[in-house]
Amino acid sequence: MGMTMTQKILAAHAGLASVSAGQLIRARLDLVLGNDITSPVAINEFNKIGFSSVFDREKIALVMDHFTPNRDIKAAQQCKQCRTFARDFRIKNYFDVGQVGIEHALLPEKGLVGPGDCIIGADSHTCTYGALGAFSTGVGSTDMAAGMATGEAWFKVPSAIRFNLTGKLPPECSGKDVILHIIGTIGVDGALYRSMEFTGDGVRTLSMDDRLCMANMAIEAGAKNGIFPVDEVTLAYCEGRVQHPFTAYEADPDAEYERTVDVDLSSLRPTVACPHLPENTKCAKDVEEVVCDQVVIGSCTNGRMSDMETAAAILKGNKVSEHVRCIIIPATQAIYLECVRRGLVEIFIEAGCIVSTPTCGPCLGGHMGILAENEVAVATTNRNFVGRMGHVTSKIYLASPATAAASAITGHITDPTSYVQTRRSES
């Protein structure tokens, strides 16, 4: 029996001719990632075990993105611990205030991840890099510590579900609508410890930003990882960016999948995930009665340049509803700078938004936008669990940047398709 993309990558990194679902392997790592919340725990374990060196100072990335700029003394202490560790072990890829970005947007932007890589990160959304044809997955801080020291990790080889994408997305839809639709279809445990492998003619119609968003939220379906084939879109993104050698793997024609889920992209509509699970999805037009207090456009899921462009196109010449707080968070310094250069920041501010430094901030209820009792947020983030963004009685509706921007203007959840059509007819 042939192997899936994920199985081929794991076999190569384990030095094996082949692997099969359920097999336990020890694999070589191309990158180990941690942030300002998870790295201190890993560093403590690293020291407790007695490790005195790292396996490769260029293959570890420490990104201070969650509670930075430091929200309080504890956050400052955590960053100081990471900064000291990075200095002591001469970690090349250490990113702090002024150079930082949200980790899962920053690493692809910097070319630190590429096709065929095997990557672990002490953050659940490390699965993002599957958009580039890599195997990447989240681990605990103890595994991160061992990975930093040895350059290896244990894995149970996952079985796979194939998602056959056909057609092309309607104009007001994006990768966020696709992945919300998929999670709504299979549920938050529908791909539990499986590899979500995206295939089909529809893949080539998706931008790299669409793919990064979709792979990012594979974990919301319980997946071990999400992965896309390496095609001309991938290679164009990697050109001049990924400096290390990489290998593009393809699934064998006779690869075994547990099942195939067909998704006609052309049939999708702007979608939101209602409280309190990402699987609780509805078309945006069916929940337009929901009034919102806050809109967040950013995060490792939707803080990339195309997301900023989408939001700016809708917000331009409009005003945010007087009862809505709209927070825009470019995911990296480079994206923030490009927004400044192209006048997008001016559009956001004139519309009544606040523009934040790159940070995870409100996504996990950290800072820069905590919700009060019974408040409602429309957010381009990836989780809408109880209390995720603040008070336990607050509610989060997950949405695309287009839906979020339109909702900020109207003050209630708004299908961007109907909103844009109305604007066009009025003009």
SS3 152: strand
Same domain, residue pair 314 and 377: yes
Which residue has tokens 């791909």? Answer: 191
- Residue 325 sits at φ, ψ, to 5 deg, of -100, 120
Residue 60 sits in the same domain as residue 128: yes
Q: What is the DSSP letter of 280?
A: -
Dist CA 164 CA 152 (whole Å):
32
| Percentage of residues of the chain with pLDDT beyond 70 | 98
253 and 307 share a domain? no
- For residue 424, name the pLDDT band (cuts at 50, 70, 90): low
Total number of domains constituting the chain: 2
pLDDT of 1 strictly over 80: no
- Partner residues linked to 166 by β-bridges: 264
* Domain final position from 241, 264, 287: 264
Which residues is 34 bridged to in the sheet?
62
- Dist CA 425 CA 427 (whole Å): 5
Question: How far is it, in rounded angstroms, from Cα 287 to Cα 384?
Answer: 16
Ordered alpha helix ranges (H), 99-220: 103-110, 141-150, 175-186, 208-216
pLDDT band at 86 (very low <50, low <70, confident <90, very high): very high
CATH code of the domain covering residue 378: 3.30.499.10
Do 123 and 86 share a domain, yes or no? yes
| Cα atoms in the Cβ-side hemisphere of radius 13 Å centred on 167 | 12
242-260 pLDDT, tens digit each: 999 999 999 999 999 999 9
What is d(CA 402, CA 308) in angstroms, rounded to the nearest whole number?
10
Alpha carbons within 13 angstroms on the beta-carbon side of residue 45 total 16
Domain assignment of residue 309, given as a range: 273-426
Q: Of 124, 71, 79, whose CA–CA distance to 99 is shortest? A: 79
Q: Are residues 48 and 130 located together in one domain of the fold? A: yes
Q: Any bridge partners for residue 325, and if so which?
A: 294
Average the pLDDT over 132-147 and give the result: 97
